[in-house]
Amino acid sequence: MTMSTSGHPRRRPILAALMLGVMIVVLDNSILNVAMRVMSRPAPTGLGATQGELEWAVNSYTLVFAGLLFTAGLLGDRFGRKKALLAGLLVFGAGSALAAASSGPGELIAWRALMGVGGAFVMPATLAVVMNVFPREEQPRAIGIWAGGVGLAVAAGPITGGLLLQHFWWGSVFLVNVPLALVALVAVTVLVPDSRDPSPGRLDPVGVPLSFAGLVLLVYGIIEGGRLADFTDPEVVATAGGGALVLTAFVLYERRAAAPALDTRWFRNPAFSAAVAAIAFVFFALMGATFFSAFYLQSVRGCSPLETGLLMVPLAVAQMIFAPRARRVVARFGARAVCATGLAGVAVGMWAVVLLDETTPLWVLEVIFFVQGTAMAHVMPPATVSVMQSLPVEKAGSGSAVNNTFRQVGSALGVAVLGSLLSARYRAGVEDDLAVLPESARHAAGESIEATLGAAQRLGPAGRALVDPAKAAFVDAMHVTVLAAGTIALMGAAVVAVWLPGRPAAAPEETREVSDEDEEEVGARR
């Protein structure tokens, strides 16, 4: 049975429930950014986590999330997106509770990985349901509001984290997810209709494991390369290269499979392939560059976690303001012009960070954050709309998974590549000053600015001579990193300007999947 193109009668409350689910996942990661410095302190204040352990607290989530996204999207399309969403929220909430109770960095890393499993099922399902319950002409606005909700979570995360850390122990930044997940579970159960691909075809027992193994190996290799600051290390080459080979085998297999998990013909459509490239480029630049923001504000400028969260608000507020309105600009100028200009704006925002040093007025940073947020708001919604509207609605889960996979791989690459550039430049800048330390402690102290400041504190009065050089070396490394990040974003603008279509193509009429609940409501309205 088909349904009128007017969409689901309760689509707006449904969108609110979906945004709540997405915001929980995003909120957790933005909270974690301001909590890292606290977790590096010795117990009981923190976990005594090293720089490498803090990176893995972030990356264990990213690794599992990225590896499972495509598989989770396929399972949602086959067995029901509402079921996938509920399962993801349940696992994410349980993982958050366990993470809050961690007794050491190793446990935290493990429970963050479990949270990644939950997040991988939440993200593709939300966007797939949006595409299913909104008519085509309302989808750009709905996706803009969805992206604005992400911006709200980005803003609320650091502020919430700062308030919690000011009054409670470090684990509260994870425990806060539990009541939110319970509310989201109730809202999704009551409001969201289930939907699935009506003709999913046969299962792909070869392609699905290949996609998971390839993504996990590739992302793991990228992360290790960043951690070691050496992408020629044999372990890095073996894992990342192995992942690339497995993914190549996956693509070759899918091209010949009778019932492929991923239809490789999607990438022949410029509206699809250029849009996912834009998403990867913007997150490569943004995640790699903003990884150090908390350390600049707290370690160099002496801000508290709460002050750091408040200072990051303009980045998110700009997204909240402009993301829901980006469709109007796209309607006038076309997706290609808007996305290319947005990526160029991201590049300008990155390069502007070279204006910052140890004493620059903080309002300069606020302006830079607002520029970056505005630019992102004109990339993500139109690129996401381009990806999702390039595909049949019954493949929405798989399309959303591809969209999110490119975002996560871009993020992992950004953190690893730009993070290793930051680390290498910082170590080179502070190396001579570390001569005041015992030789056995110099390597660890040069790992990060926090490690250097910790070593200086242990030295007592003699360590004060390390503080100013450490801050100067970090600012210099930050400048080099943002120059690279801006260049990457500008490369993305060039890709979009060449390949992304200028105007949304008129799509043929598509039949809309309906749930049993939809049929009952349509019948009642008759």
> Highest mean pLDDT range out of 199-203, 415-419, 484-488?
484-488
CA dist 201 and 168 (Å) reads: 51
- Of 201-205, 321-325, 364-368, 438-442, least confident by mean pLDDT is 201-205
Whether 366 shows a pLDDT value over 90: the answer reads yes
The answer to whether residue 512 scores a pLDDT higher than 60 is no
Per residue in 28-68, pLDDT (tens digit) is: 766 776 777 677 777 777 777 776 677 777 778 877 887 77
**Average pLDDT over every residue of 425-446:** 79
Give residue-wise pLDDT tens across range 451-470.
Answer: 788 788 877 777 788 888 88
Instruction: Count the neighbouring beta carbons within 10 Å of the beta carbon of residue 526.
Output: 5
pLDDT band at 355 (very low <50, low <70, confident <90, very high): very high
| Torsion angle in degrees (nearest 10) through CA of 68, 73, 79, 85 | 80
How much of the chain exceeds pLDDT 70, in percent?
86
Residue-level pLDDT at 152: 73
Q: Give residue 174's pLDDT band: very low, low, confident or very high (50, 70, 90).
A: confident
Q: How confident is the model at residue 2 (pLDDT cuts 50, 70, 90)?
A: very low
Nearest 10 degrees: CA dihedral of 298, 303, 305, 307?
-140
| Higher-pLDDT residue of 415, 106 | 106
The pLDDT of residue 73 is above 90: no
**Other CB atoms closer than 10 Å to residue 325's CB: what's the count?**
15
Query: What is the mean predicted confidence (pLDDT) over 406-432?
Result: 78
Residues 319-354 have pLDDT tens digits of: 878 888 888 888 888 888 998 999 999 999 999 999
Give percent of the chain above pLDDT 90.
14
Mean pLDDT of the 102-112 span: 86
Asked if residues 141 and 323 have their Cβ atoms less than 8 Å apart, the reply is: no
Tokens matching residue 412: 């992992």
Long-range contacts of 80-84 (CB under 8 A, 24+ apart): 80/194, 80/195, 80/196, 81/125, 81/128, 81/129, 81/132, 81/194, 81/195, 81/196, 81/396, 81/397, 82/125, 82/129, 82/188, 82/192, 82/193, 82/194, 82/195, 83/194, 84/121, 84/124, 84/125, 84/397
pLDDT above 80 for 203: no
Rounded Cα–Cα distance for residues 407 and 140 (Å): 19
Provide the pLDDT for residue 87: 93
Please give the pLDDT value at position 363. Answer: 93
pLDDT mean over 74-91? 87
Q: Give the pLDDT of residue 5.
A: 53
Distance CA 497, CA 338 (A): 9
If pLDDT is split at 50, 70 and 90, which confidence band does 4 have? Answer: very low
Whether the pLDDT of residue 504 is over 70: the answer is no
Rounded to two decimals, the pTM is 0.74
Q: What's the mean per-residue pLDDT of the chain? A: 79
For residue 79, pLDDT over 70 is answered with yes
> What are the start-end ranges of the H helices in 40-176?
51-79, 81-100, 105-133, 139-167, 172-175
Q: Which of 136, 179, 187 is nearest to 13 (CA)?
A: 187
289-316, pLDDT tens digit by residue? 666 787 888 888 888 777 877 888 888 7
Residue 289, pLDDT score: 62
Q: Are 197 and 69 in contact (CB under 8 A)?
A: no
Q: What is the pLDDT of residues 243-270, one digit of tens each?
A: 889 989 988 888 887 767 677 777 787 7
pLDDT for position 6:
64
The rounded distance, in Å, linking the Cα atoms of 71 and 178 is 25
State phi, psi for 202 to the nearest 5 degrees: -75, 160
Q: What is the model's pLDDT at position 200?
A: 63
The pLDDT confidence band at residue 428, using thresholds 50, 70 and 90, is confident
pLDDT for residue 508: 44
Average pLDDT over residues 205-227: 77
* Residue matched to tokens 């935290």: 108
pLDDT at 514: 45
Distance CA 502, CA 332 (A): 10
Average pLDDT, integer, range 350-365: 92
Out of 71-75, 89-93, 150-154, 429-433, the most confident range is 89-93
What is the band of 475 on the pLDDT scale with cuts at 50, 70, 90? very high
Neighbours of 190 (CB within 10 A): 9
> What's residue 17's pLDDT?
87
**Span 349-371, mean pLDDT?**
92
**Residue 361 in this model has a pLDDT that exceeds 90:** yes
